[in-house]
Structure 1
Amino acid sequence: MRKKPGQAKEAAWNEKFAAYAKAFPQEAAEYTRRMKGEMPADFDAKANEFIAKLQANPAKIASRKASQNAIEAFGPLLPEFLGGSADLAPSNLTIWSGSKAINEDTAGKLHPLRRA
C-alpha cells in the first residue's frame, strides 16, 4: 500500500521543516503564510492606503501604466508575487523596480519568475 511510504516521507519532511523553523523562524513563518494562502499582516492597510491615494488624485493614464503603478505598489507587499511577459515587458510595463529575472543562474534561489 502506498499510504505508509507517503506518511513516512511526510513525517521526515515535517521533522526537517521543524529544524529549519528553529534555525530560521522568520523564513519558516513566511513560508507557512504563503503555503496557507494568507496575505501579509499589513497588506489590507497598505492596499487601502494605496487605493485611497489613487482615489484622492485620479490620473488620466494608459491602462498599462496604471497596471505598472499597481505592480510597483503591491510588489513590495507580496514577496511571492510573480509574473512576466518576456520580451514584451518593456512595452507593456510589467517590469517594476524590484523585479528580478529567473534564469539558469538563479536556480535554487528564492527568486520568483520576474517578481512581476
Structure 2
Amino acid sequence: MTYKVFLKEKKVNRQMDANLVKKAFPPVPYSENKHINVRGDYSPFNGDLVYWSKRQSKLDNGATSRTLIRQKHTCGYCGLKFIDEEKIQLHHINRNHSNSRANNLLAVHESCQNYIHRCKSES
C-alpha cells in the first residue's frame, strides 16, 4: 500500500520509493520488542506443556523465573504444568511478604493461590 502512495508522486522512482519506505518503517530491534521465537513446528495445541511453560518463564521477572526453574515449571500446590495464558502467582509460604527468599516462595496458579488463601481464612 505504501509503495502505491509513493509511486503516485511524479518525482519518485522505484529506488527512491524503496528508500522512503525503509525510512518510514525502520526495523524494530530485539531489545525493544523482546519477542521469543517459537522453536521449529511447535504449537500450543500439540500438548507439550513443558516447552510452553519454559518459554513463558523467560518473560517473567527474576524471582518468578527462578522459582519456576526450581519447581521444574510445575505448580507448587497442585503439581500441574503452567499453560501459556495462565497467570503465575508467587505465594509466600509463611505469609511474610517482606521475606522473599527462595525457600519462602512458591510459584502457583492464580486459582491455586485463591484456594490457598480461602482455606486459610476459613480456618
Q: Do the structures match in fold with TM over 0.5? A: no
Q: Which of the two has higher C-alpha Rg?
A: 2
Instruction: Tell me which of the two structures has the higher relative contact order, counting C-alpha pairs closer than 8 angstroms and 6 or more residues apart.
Output: 1
TM-score, structure 1 normalization: 0.31
Task: Provide TM-score, normalisation by structure 2.
Answer: 0.29
| Higher normalized strand content (fraction of residues) | 2
